[in-house]
Protein backbone atom coordinates (compact mmCIF):
# COMPACT_ATOMS: atom_id res chain seq x y z
CA UNK A 1 0.00 0.00 0.00
CA UNK A 2 1.15 3.53 -0.67
CA UNK A 3 -0.78 5.44 2.01
CA UNK A 4 -2.14 4.84 5.46
CA UNK A 5 -5.65 5.99 6.21
CA UNK A 6 -6.04 8.52 8.92
CA UNK A 7 -9.03 9.46 11.00
CA UNK A 8 -9.12 13.05 9.83
CA UNK A 9 -11.99 14.72 8.06
CA UNK A 10 -9.75 15.11 5.00
CA UNK A 11 -9.22 11.36 4.82
CA UNK A 12 -12.98 10.80 5.14
CA UNK A 13 -13.68 13.26 2.33
CA UNK A 14 -11.15 11.47 0.12
CA UNK A 15 -12.86 8.14 0.79
CA UNK A 16 -16.30 9.58 0.01
CA UNK A 17 -14.95 11.23 -3.14
CA UNK A 18 -13.69 7.86 -4.40
CA UNK A 19 -17.04 6.27 -3.53
CA UNK A 20 -19.01 8.93 -5.42
CA UNK A 21 -16.63 8.82 -8.39
CA UNK A 22 -17.11 5.06 -8.73
CA UNK A 23 -20.88 5.40 -8.47
CA UNK A 24 -21.06 8.16 -11.07
CA UNK A 25 -18.80 6.31 -13.50
CA UNK A 26 -20.47 2.95 -12.83
CA UNK A 27 -24.01 4.21 -13.53
CA UNK A 28 -22.90 5.21 -17.03
CA UNK A 29 -22.29 1.52 -17.80
CA UNK A 30 -25.68 0.32 -16.57
CA UNK A 31 -26.86 -1.90 -13.73
CA UNK A 32 -24.14 -4.51 -14.24
CA UNK A 33 -21.46 -1.88 -14.79
CA UNK A 34 -21.95 -0.27 -11.40
CA UNK A 35 -20.87 -3.24 -9.23
CA UNK A 36 -17.74 -4.01 -11.23
CA UNK A 37 -16.63 -0.37 -11.22
CA UNK A 38 -17.12 -0.60 -7.45
CA UNK A 39 -14.32 -3.17 -7.52
CA UNK A 40 -11.95 -0.41 -8.60
CA UNK A 41 -12.94 1.56 -5.53
CA UNK A 42 -12.29 -1.49 -3.34
CA UNK A 43 -8.81 -1.93 -4.77
CA UNK A 44 -7.99 1.73 -4.14
CA UNK A 45 -9.31 1.56 -0.59
CA UNK A 46 -7.43 -1.59 0.38
CA UNK A 47 -4.17 -1.47 -1.60
CA UNK A 48 -3.64 2.29 -1.84
CA UNK A 49 -5.30 3.83 1.21
CA UNK A 50 -4.84 0.87 3.53
CA UNK A 51 -8.48 0.37 4.47
CA UNK A 52 -9.51 -2.89 6.07
CA UNK A 53 -11.95 -4.61 3.64
CA UNK A 54 -15.58 -4.35 4.63
CA UNK A 55 -18.13 -7.14 4.55
CA UNK A 56 -20.56 -7.73 1.67
CA UNK A 57 -24.16 -8.32 2.83
CA UNK A 58 -24.25 -12.07 2.25
CA UNK A 59 -27.57 -12.71 4.06
CA UNK A 60 -29.28 -9.96 2.08
CA UNK A 61 -27.90 -11.30 -1.20
CA UNK A 62 -29.09 -14.83 -0.44
CA UNK A 63 -32.55 -13.48 0.37
CA UNK A 64 -32.65 -11.57 -2.91
CA UNK A 65 -31.66 -14.73 -4.82
CA UNK A 66 -34.48 -16.68 -3.16
CA UNK A 67 -37.03 -13.95 -3.87
CA UNK A 68 -36.13 -13.42 -7.53
CA UNK A 69 -36.05 -17.18 -8.10
CA UNK A 70 -39.61 -17.42 -6.81
CA UNK A 71 -40.65 -14.38 -8.89
CA UNK A 72 -39.07 -15.99 -11.94
CA UNK A 73 -41.15 -19.11 -11.43
CA UNK A 74 -44.25 -16.95 -10.99
CA UNK A 75 -43.68 -15.22 -14.33
CA UNK A 76 -42.69 -18.38 -16.21
CA UNK A 77 -45.70 -20.30 -14.87
CA UNK A 78 -48.16 -17.66 -16.08
CA UNK A 79 -49.22 -16.55 -12.60
CA UNK A 80 -48.12 -13.01 -13.41
CA UNK A 81 -50.22 -13.07 -16.60
CA UNK A 82 -53.33 -13.77 -14.51
CA UNK A 83 -52.58 -10.75 -12.32
CA UNK A 84 -52.20 -8.59 -15.41
CA UNK A 85 -55.51 -9.87 -16.79
CA UNK A 86 -57.34 -8.83 -13.62
CA UNK A 87 -55.55 -5.46 -13.65
CA UNK A 88 -56.64 -4.82 -17.24
CA UNK A 89 -60.22 -5.78 -16.44
CA UNK A 90 -60.24 -3.30 -13.55
CA UNK A 91 -58.97 -0.44 -15.71
CA UNK A 92 -61.26 -1.08 -18.68
CA UNK A 93 -64.30 -1.27 -16.41
CA UNK A 94 -63.49 2.20 -15.01
CA UNK A 95 -62.14 4.09 -18.03
CA UNK A 96 -63.11 7.64 -17.00
CA UNK A 97 -61.19 7.29 -13.73
CA UNK A 98 -58.07 5.86 -15.32
CA UNK A 99 -55.88 8.68 -13.91
CA UNK A 100 -56.72 7.51 -10.39
CA UNK A 101 -57.03 3.79 -10.96
CA UNK A 102 -53.98 3.27 -13.19
CA UNK A 103 -51.39 4.30 -10.54
CA UNK A 104 -53.23 2.31 -7.88
CA UNK A 105 -53.10 -0.72 -10.18
CA UNK A 106 -49.38 -0.45 -10.97
CA UNK A 107 -48.60 0.24 -7.29
CA UNK A 108 -50.51 -2.89 -6.22
CA UNK A 109 -48.97 -5.06 -8.93
CA UNK A 110 -45.50 -4.06 -7.77
CA UNK A 111 -46.40 -4.85 -4.17
CA UNK A 112 -47.65 -8.30 -5.16
CA UNK A 113 -44.77 -9.15 -7.51
CA UNK A 114 -41.87 -7.34 -5.83
CA UNK A 115 -40.69 -5.63 -9.01
CA UNK A 116 -41.68 -2.52 -10.93
CA UNK A 117 -40.94 -4.27 -14.23
CA UNK A 118 -44.58 -5.41 -14.45
CA UNK A 119 -45.49 -1.85 -15.42
CA UNK A 120 -44.19 -2.33 -18.98
CA UNK A 121 -47.14 -4.58 -19.77
CA UNK A 122 -49.59 -2.06 -18.30
CA UNK A 123 -48.44 1.01 -20.24
CA UNK A 124 -50.12 0.10 -23.58
CA UNK A 125 -53.34 -0.76 -21.73
CA UNK A 126 -53.33 2.54 -19.80
CA UNK A 127 -52.65 4.46 -23.02
CA UNK A 128 -55.41 2.63 -24.87
CA UNK A 129 -57.98 3.35 -22.17
CA UNK A 130 -56.99 7.01 -21.85
CA UNK A 131 -56.83 7.93 -25.54
CA UNK A 132 -60.20 6.36 -26.34
CA UNK A 133 -61.77 8.31 -23.47
CA UNK A 134 -60.13 11.47 -24.87
CA UNK A 135 -58.09 11.78 -21.66
CA UNK A 136 -54.63 13.27 -21.95
CA UNK A 137 -52.45 10.10 -21.73
CA UNK A 138 -49.75 11.91 -19.76
CA UNK A 139 -52.10 12.16 -16.80
CA UNK A 140 -52.45 8.44 -15.99
CA UNK A 141 -49.25 7.20 -17.62
CA UNK A 142 -46.67 9.39 -15.86
CA UNK A 143 -48.14 8.88 -12.41
CA UNK A 144 -48.56 5.14 -13.11
CA UNK A 145 -44.82 4.91 -13.81
CA UNK A 146 -44.05 6.74 -10.56
CA UNK A 147 -46.52 4.58 -8.60
CA UNK A 148 -45.01 1.34 -9.90
CA UNK A 149 -41.65 2.32 -8.41
CA UNK A 150 -43.14 3.59 -5.13
CA UNK A 151 -44.67 0.16 -4.61
CA UNK A 152 -41.21 -1.39 -4.31
CA UNK A 153 -40.67 -0.16 -0.76
CA UNK A 154 -44.13 -1.51 0.17
CA UNK A 155 -43.65 -5.04 -1.16
CA UNK A 156 -42.72 -7.91 1.19
CA UNK A 157 -40.88 -9.61 -1.68
CA UNK A 158 -39.03 -6.62 -3.16
CA UNK A 159 -35.24 -6.47 -3.10
CA UNK A 160 -35.23 -3.05 -1.41
CA UNK A 161 -37.57 -3.95 1.46
CA UNK A 162 -36.03 -7.37 2.01
CA UNK A 163 -32.59 -5.76 2.09
CA UNK A 164 -33.71 -3.18 4.64
CA UNK A 165 -35.29 -5.88 6.80
CA UNK A 166 -32.06 -7.88 6.58
CA UNK A 167 -29.88 -4.97 7.72
CA UNK A 168 -32.25 -4.13 10.57
CA UNK A 169 -32.38 -7.76 11.68
CA UNK A 170 -28.58 -8.05 11.55
CA UNK A 171 -28.35 -5.02 13.82
CA UNK A 172 -30.42 -6.88 16.40
CA UNK A 173 -33.37 -4.48 16.28
CA UNK A 174 -36.91 -5.75 16.99
CA UNK A 175 -38.39 -4.63 13.68
CA UNK A 176 -39.64 -7.25 11.24
CA UNK A 177 -40.87 -7.13 7.65
CA UNK A 178 -44.37 -6.61 9.05
CA UNK A 179 -43.21 -3.54 10.99
CA UNK A 180 -41.73 -2.08 7.82
CA UNK A 181 -44.87 -2.82 5.81
CA UNK A 182 -47.09 -1.27 8.49
CA UNK A 183 -45.36 2.02 7.68
CA UNK A 184 -44.51 1.70 4.00
CA UNK A 185 -47.87 0.47 2.66
CA UNK A 186 -50.02 3.35 3.98
CA UNK A 187 -47.21 5.87 3.39
CA UNK A 188 -46.71 4.97 -0.28
CA UNK A 189 -50.45 4.58 -0.81
CA UNK A 190 -51.02 8.15 0.38
CA UNK A 191 -48.12 9.33 -1.79
CA UNK A 192 -49.59 7.63 -4.85
CA UNK A 193 -53.05 9.06 -4.17
CA UNK A 194 -51.79 12.63 -3.79
CA UNK A 195 -49.77 12.33 -7.00
CA UNK A 196 -52.78 10.84 -8.83
CA UNK A 197 -55.18 13.54 -7.65
CA UNK A 198 -52.74 16.23 -8.76
CA UNK A 199 -52.41 14.49 -12.15
CA UNK A 200 -56.17 14.36 -12.68
CA UNK A 201 -56.27 17.75 -14.38
CA UNK A 202 -52.63 18.25 -15.32
CA UNK A 203 -51.84 19.70 -18.73
CA UNK A 204 -54.34 20.83 -21.32
CA UNK A 205 -57.23 18.67 -22.46
CA UNK A 206 -56.43 17.11 -25.83
CA UNK A 207 -58.97 19.19 -27.74
CA UNK A 208 -57.43 22.37 -26.29
CA UNK A 209 -53.78 21.42 -26.79
CA UNK A 210 -52.51 23.19 -29.93
CA UNK A 211 -49.38 21.04 -30.13
CA UNK A 212 -51.39 17.81 -30.05
CA UNK A 213 -54.01 19.10 -32.50
CA UNK A 214 -51.30 20.17 -34.95
CA UNK A 215 -49.68 16.73 -34.65
CA UNK A 216 -52.82 14.71 -35.47
CA UNK A 217 -53.66 16.81 -38.54
CA UNK A 218 -51.36 14.43 -40.37
CA UNK A 219 -53.51 11.35 -41.17
CA UNK A 220 -50.60 9.01 -40.49
CA UNK A 221 -50.09 10.55 -37.05
CA UNK A 222 -53.84 10.39 -36.35
CA UNK A 223 -53.89 6.71 -37.17
CA UNK A 224 -50.86 6.09 -34.99
CA UNK A 225 -52.40 7.94 -32.04
CA UNK A 226 -55.95 6.57 -32.20
CA UNK A 227 -55.49 3.32 -34.11
CA UNK A 228 -53.50 0.18 -33.35
CA UNK A 229 -55.63 -0.88 -30.39
CA UNK A 230 -53.69 -2.84 -27.82
CA UNK A 231 -54.25 -6.59 -27.77
CA UNK A 232 -56.32 -7.46 -24.74
CA UNK A 233 -56.04 -10.34 -22.29
CA UNK A 234 -59.76 -10.16 -21.51
CA UNK A 235 -60.87 -12.53 -24.27
CA UNK A 236 -58.08 -15.03 -23.73
CA UNK A 237 -58.69 -18.27 -21.89
CA UNK A 238 -55.73 -18.93 -19.62
CA UNK A 239 -54.78 -22.45 -18.50
CA UNK A 240 -55.77 -23.51 -14.99
CA UNK A 241 -52.09 -23.95 -14.14
CA UNK A 242 -51.66 -20.15 -14.49
CA UNK A 243 -54.25 -19.61 -11.76
CA UNK A 244 -52.73 -22.31 -9.55
CA UNK A 245 -49.37 -20.57 -9.73
CA UNK A 246 -50.91 -17.27 -8.65
CA UNK A 247 -52.74 -18.89 -5.73
CA UNK A 248 -49.59 -20.69 -4.58
CA UNK A 249 -47.66 -17.42 -4.68
CA UNK A 250 -50.34 -15.56 -2.70
CA UNK A 251 -50.42 -18.38 -0.13
CA UNK A 252 -46.68 -17.98 0.36
CA UNK A 253 -47.04 -14.23 0.91
CA UNK A 254 -49.74 -14.87 3.51
CA UNK A 255 -47.53 -17.40 5.32
CA UNK A 256 -44.67 -14.88 5.43
CA UNK A 257 -47.02 -12.23 6.82
CA UNK A 258 -48.33 -14.59 9.54
CA UNK A 259 -44.87 -15.73 10.61
CA UNK A 260 -43.60 -12.17 10.61
CA UNK A 261 -46.48 -11.04 12.79
CA UNK A 262 -46.19 -13.96 15.24
CA UNK A 263 -42.47 -14.57 15.76
CA UNK A 264 -43.22 -16.72 18.82
CA UNK A 265 -44.20 -19.61 16.53
CA UNK A 266 -40.82 -19.60 14.78
CA UNK A 267 -38.23 -22.29 15.74
CA UNK A 268 -35.68 -21.10 18.31
CA UNK A 269 -32.03 -22.06 18.65
CA UNK A 270 -29.23 -21.05 21.06
CA UNK A 271 -27.01 -18.18 19.95
CA UNK A 272 -23.29 -17.79 20.64
CA UNK A 273 -24.05 -16.96 24.29
CA UNK A 274 -26.42 -19.88 24.72
CA UNK A 275 -29.57 -17.72 24.71
CA UNK A 276 -32.52 -19.16 22.79
CA UNK A 277 -33.51 -16.94 19.88
CA UNK A 278 -35.99 -17.38 17.08
CA UNK A 279 -34.55 -17.66 13.57
CA UNK A 280 -34.54 -14.39 11.67
CA UNK A 281 -37.28 -13.47 9.22
CA UNK A 282 -34.70 -13.12 6.45
CA UNK A 283 -33.95 -16.83 6.83
CA UNK A 284 -37.67 -17.61 6.93
CA UNK A 285 -38.28 -15.62 3.75
CA UNK A 286 -35.45 -17.47 2.00
CA UNK A 287 -36.91 -20.86 2.87
CA UNK A 288 -40.52 -20.02 2.04
CA UNK A 289 -39.62 -18.40 -1.28
CA UNK A 290 -37.78 -21.55 -2.33
CA UNK A 291 -40.70 -23.73 -1.23
CA UNK A 292 -43.17 -21.57 -3.19
CA UNK A 293 -40.97 -21.90 -6.26
CA UNK A 294 -40.81 -25.66 -5.73
CA UNK A 295 -44.60 -25.90 -5.43
CA UNK A 296 -45.07 -23.91 -8.65
CA UNK A 297 -42.51 -26.12 -10.38
CA UNK A 298 -44.24 -29.33 -9.31
CA UNK A 299 -47.92 -28.37 -9.62
CA UNK A 300 -47.94 -25.87 -12.50
CA UNK A 301 -46.04 -27.63 -15.29
CA UNK A 302 -43.10 -25.22 -15.39
CA UNK A 303 -39.96 -25.94 -17.35
CA UNK A 304 -37.20 -24.98 -14.91
CA UNK A 305 -34.87 -24.12 -17.80
CA UNK A 306 -37.18 -21.30 -18.87
CA UNK A 307 -37.05 -19.55 -15.50
CA UNK A 308 -33.56 -18.21 -16.16
CA UNK A 309 -34.85 -16.52 -19.34
CA UNK A 310 -37.63 -14.61 -17.58
CA UNK A 311 -37.41 -10.83 -17.33
CA UNK A 312 -37.98 -10.78 -13.58
CA UNK A 313 -35.30 -13.37 -12.84
CA UNK A 314 -32.77 -11.68 -15.11
CA UNK A 315 -33.38 -8.25 -13.56
CA UNK A 316 -33.30 -9.69 -10.04
CA UNK A 317 -29.93 -11.36 -10.46
CA UNK A 318 -28.62 -8.05 -11.76
CA UNK A 319 -29.75 -6.52 -8.47
CA UNK A 320 -27.81 -9.18 -6.53
CA UNK A 321 -24.59 -8.32 -8.35
CA UNK A 322 -25.26 -4.61 -7.89
CA UNK A 323 -25.83 -4.96 -4.14
CA UNK A 324 -22.72 -7.14 -3.87
CA UNK A 325 -20.32 -4.64 -5.41
CA UNK A 326 -21.86 -1.37 -4.23
CA UNK A 327 -22.60 -2.45 -0.66
CA UNK A 328 -19.14 -3.99 -0.22
CA UNK A 329 -17.43 -0.82 -1.44
CA UNK A 330 -19.64 1.41 0.72
CA UNK A 331 -19.10 -0.73 3.82
CA UNK A 332 -15.34 -0.63 3.29
CA UNK A 333 -15.39 3.15 3.07
CA UNK A 334 -17.73 3.82 5.97
CA UNK A 335 -16.47 1.17 8.40
CA UNK A 336 -12.98 2.65 8.26
CA UNK A 337 -14.29 6.13 9.13
CA UNK A 338 -17.04 5.27 11.59
CA UNK A 339 -15.79 7.55 14.37
CA UNK A 340 -15.70 10.55 12.04
CA UNK A 341 -19.12 9.71 10.57
CA UNK A 342 -20.69 9.45 14.01
CA UNK A 343 -19.26 12.82 14.97
CA UNK A 344 -20.20 14.61 11.74
CA UNK A 345 -23.40 12.93 10.54
CA UNK A 346 -24.85 11.32 13.65
CA UNK A 347 -25.56 14.59 15.43
CA UNK A 348 -26.87 16.20 12.24
CA UNK A 349 -29.42 13.46 11.59
CA UNK A 350 -30.51 13.41 15.22
CA UNK A 351 -31.07 17.18 15.15
CA UNK A 352 -32.62 17.22 11.66
CA UNK A 353 -34.10 13.77 10.86
CA UNK A 354 -35.13 14.89 7.37
CA UNK A 355 -31.45 14.92 6.36
CA UNK A 356 -31.53 11.11 6.44
CA UNK A 357 -34.37 11.15 3.90
CA UNK A 358 -32.43 13.60 1.74
CA UNK A 359 -29.32 11.39 1.83
CA UNK A 360 -31.38 8.32 0.85
CA UNK A 361 -33.15 10.21 -1.95
CA UNK A 362 -29.94 11.57 -3.47
CA UNK A 363 -28.19 8.20 -3.21
CA UNK A 364 -31.10 6.51 -4.97
CA UNK A 365 -30.81 8.96 -7.85
CA UNK A 366 -27.06 8.49 -7.93
CA UNK A 367 -27.19 4.70 -8.20
CA UNK A 368 -30.59 4.41 -9.97
CA UNK A 369 -31.64 1.62 -7.63
CA UNK A 370 -33.68 1.50 -4.45
CA UNK A 371 -31.98 -1.70 -3.31
CA UNK A 372 -28.49 -0.26 -3.87
CA UNK A 373 -29.44 2.96 -2.06
CA UNK A 374 -30.72 0.93 0.90
CA UNK A 375 -27.52 -1.15 0.90
CA UNK A 376 -25.41 2.01 1.12
CA UNK A 377 -27.39 4.23 3.50
CA UNK A 378 -29.20 1.91 5.95
CA UNK A 379 -26.12 0.06 7.31
CA UNK A 380 -24.33 3.40 7.71
CA UNK A 381 -27.33 4.94 9.47
CA UNK A 382 -27.67 1.99 11.86
CA UNK A 383 -23.97 1.99 12.68
CA UNK A 384 -23.74 5.71 13.50
CA UNK A 385 -26.77 5.45 15.75
CA UNK A 386 -29.61 6.89 13.70
CA UNK A 387 -32.93 6.17 15.40
CA UNK A 388 -34.40 3.12 13.60
CA UNK A 389 -37.81 4.80 13.73
CA UNK A 390 -36.38 7.52 11.50
CA UNK A 391 -35.26 4.83 9.06
CA UNK A 392 -38.77 3.37 9.04
CA UNK A 393 -40.33 6.82 8.75
CA UNK A 394 -38.57 7.76 5.55
CA UNK A 395 -38.69 4.44 3.76
CA UNK A 396 -40.37 6.16 0.78
CA UNK A 397 -37.24 8.26 0.21
CA UNK A 398 -35.37 5.35 -1.36
CA UNK A 399 -37.17 6.19 -4.62
CA UNK A 400 -35.36 9.18 -6.08
CA UNK A 401 -34.32 8.12 -9.56
CA UNK A 402 -37.31 9.78 -11.21
CA UNK A 403 -35.53 13.12 -10.67
CA UNK A 404 -33.80 12.72 -14.02
CA UNK A 405 -35.86 10.89 -16.67
CA UNK A 406 -33.28 8.21 -17.34
CA UNK A 407 -34.83 5.18 -15.64
CA UNK A 408 -36.02 2.42 -18.03
CA UNK A 409 -39.66 2.49 -16.88
CA UNK A 410 -39.90 6.25 -17.44
CA UNK A 411 -38.31 6.00 -20.87
CA UNK A 412 -40.65 3.13 -21.75
CA UNK A 413 -43.61 5.21 -20.59
CA UNK A 414 -42.60 8.02 -22.95
CA UNK A 415 -42.28 5.58 -25.84
CA UNK A 416 -45.65 3.91 -25.18
CA UNK A 417 -47.44 7.28 -25.19
CA UNK A 418 -47.98 7.67 -28.93
CA UNK A 419 -49.72 11.02 -28.40
CA UNK A 420 -46.44 12.61 -27.30
CA UNK A 421 -47.97 14.18 -24.18
CA UNK A 422 -45.67 12.25 -21.82
CA UNK A 423 -42.32 13.85 -22.48
CA UNK A 424 -38.91 15.10 -21.40
CA UNK A 425 -39.04 18.87 -21.22
CA UNK A 426 -36.81 21.37 -22.94
CA UNK A 427 -34.87 21.91 -19.71
CA UNK A 428 -34.73 18.16 -18.88
CA UNK A 429 -35.92 18.65 -15.29
CA UNK A 430 -39.36 19.79 -16.43
CA UNK A 431 -40.35 16.28 -17.48
CA UNK A 432 -43.65 14.47 -16.96
CA UNK A 433 -42.53 12.49 -13.89
CA UNK A 434 -41.02 15.29 -11.80
CA UNK A 435 -44.03 16.70 -9.92
CA UNK A 436 -45.84 13.34 -9.43
CA UNK A 437 -42.58 11.88 -8.13
CA UNK A 438 -41.85 14.76 -5.75
CA UNK A 439 -45.43 14.79 -4.46
CA UNK A 440 -45.45 11.02 -4.00
CA UNK A 441 -42.14 10.79 -2.15
CA UNK A 442 -42.72 13.90 -0.01
CA UNK A 443 -46.20 12.77 1.00
CA UNK A 444 -44.94 9.24 1.66
CA UNK A 445 -42.18 10.54 3.93
CA UNK A 446 -44.57 12.81 5.87
CA UNK A 447 -47.19 10.09 6.33
CA UNK A 448 -44.50 7.53 7.16
CA UNK A 449 -43.02 9.82 9.82
CA UNK A 450 -46.41 10.19 11.53
CA UNK A 451 -47.31 6.48 11.33
CA UNK A 452 -43.90 5.26 12.53
CA UNK A 453 -43.97 7.54 15.54
CA UNK A 454 -47.54 6.53 16.40
CA UNK A 455 -46.89 2.79 16.08
CA UNK A 456 -43.39 2.57 17.53
pLDDT digits (tens, 9 = 90+) for 227-275: 766 666 777 889 999 999 999 998 988 888 788 777 788 898 987 778 8
Mean pLDDT of the chain: 87
- Beta bridge partners of residue 276, listed in sequence order: 270
Average pLDDT over residues 212-232: 83
Quote the CA–CA distance of 299 and 245 in Å, as a whole number.
Answer: 8
Write down the pLDDT at residue 118. 76
Write down the pLDDT at residue 272. 77
Would the pLDDT of 364 be above 80? Answer: yes
Write down the pLDDT at residue 231. 65
Write down the pLDDT at residue 225. 87
- Of the pLDDT bands very low, low, confident and very high (cuts 50, 70, 90), residue 62 is confident
* N residues, the chain: 456
C-beta separation of 356 from 390 below 8 A? yes
Write down the pLDDT at residue 3. 46
Would the pLDDT of 60 be above 50? Answer: yes
Write down the pLDDT at residue 230. 62
Give the domain ranges of the chain. 56-455
C-beta separation of 173 from 411 below 8 A? no
Average pLDDT over residues 17-29: 85
The model carries a pTM of 0.78
Write down the pLDDT at residue 31. 64
Average pLDDT over residues 1-15: 64
Would the pLDDT of 346 be above 80? Answer: no
Would the pLDDT of 6 be above 60? Answer: no
Average pLDDT over residues 334-347: 76
Quote the CA–CA distance of 200 and 174 in Å, as a whole number.
Answer: 41
Write down the pLDDT at residue 430. 87
Is the model more confident about 312 or about 182? 182
- Of the pLDDT bands very low, low, confident and very high (cuts 50, 70, 90), residue 344 is confident
Write down the pLDDT at residue 1. 45
Least confident interval from 28-37, 206-215, 216-225, 288-297: 28-37
- Of the pLDDT bands very low, low, confident and very high (cuts 50, 70, 90), residue 26 is confident
Write down the pLDDT at residue 228. 67
Quote the CA–CA distance of 259 and 188 in Å, as a whole number.
Answer: 23
Amino acid sequence: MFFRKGSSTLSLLLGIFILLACLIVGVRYGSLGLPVISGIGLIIYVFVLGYKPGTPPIAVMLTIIAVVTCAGYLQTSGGLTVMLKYAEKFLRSNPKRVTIYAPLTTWLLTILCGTGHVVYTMFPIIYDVAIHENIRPERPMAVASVASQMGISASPVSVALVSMAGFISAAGLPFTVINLLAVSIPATFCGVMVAAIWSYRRGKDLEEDPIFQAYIKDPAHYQDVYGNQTESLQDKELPSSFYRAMYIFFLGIIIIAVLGNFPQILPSFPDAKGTMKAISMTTVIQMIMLVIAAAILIFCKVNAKDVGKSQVFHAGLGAVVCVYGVAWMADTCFSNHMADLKAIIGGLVQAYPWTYALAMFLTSKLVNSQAAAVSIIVPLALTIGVDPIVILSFISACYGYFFLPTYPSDLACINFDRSGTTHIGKYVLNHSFMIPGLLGVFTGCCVGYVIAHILY
